[in-house]
Amino acid sequence: MPEVGLTFLSFANKYGGEVVGLAIAFRASAEWRINTRDHLEGKYTSSTPVGGGLGTTGAVNVAMITAIDKGRSSSLQIAEKAFEYENLLGNTGGKQDQYFAALGGFNHLIFNAEGVSKLRFAIDEEIKFWLHR
């Protein structure tokens, strides 16, 4: 099996990193079921195009993992599972898209060898107003 994601993981594990950002109000959804032949069938949709630079792939994979997980995992665990899934598919980018999609809103995240930490992040109401507008 090829070693995927090593460039990002090696850098983040060695140096760590912080990201402050926000999730935008676009949606991704997923549904999964077992069909009449006992095969897993999945369907997902997004209001933004994949490859558009808006974190769509991360959001779609968070929706997919959430549908499969059925509420057993926390948002942070869902984000990590979505990132691991993308690594298996060869996406060697960072983790921030999956985490922002799973957590929503404004976040301050720290990435390092021990994992991902979410710090309290308050934003002024006037800034929220202008960003929404």
User: Could you tell me the end-to-end alpha-carbon distance of the chain, in angstroms, rounded to an integer?
Assistant: 47
Q: What is the pLDDT along the chain (133 residues), one digit of tens a residue?
A: 444 444 555 666 678 888 998 877 778 888 888 889 999 888 888 888 777 777 888 899 999 999 989 889 999 999 999 999 988 888 877 888 999 999 988 899 998 888 899 988 888 899 888 887 7
CATH class of 6-132: alpha beta
Q: Model pTM?
A: 0.78
94 DSSP assignment: -
Distance CA 120, CA 102 (A): 16
Please report the pLDDT score of residue 25 as a whole number.
75
Indicate the domain borders of the chain.
6-132
E strands of 2-129, at which residues?
17-22, 28-34, 40-46, 106-112, 115-119
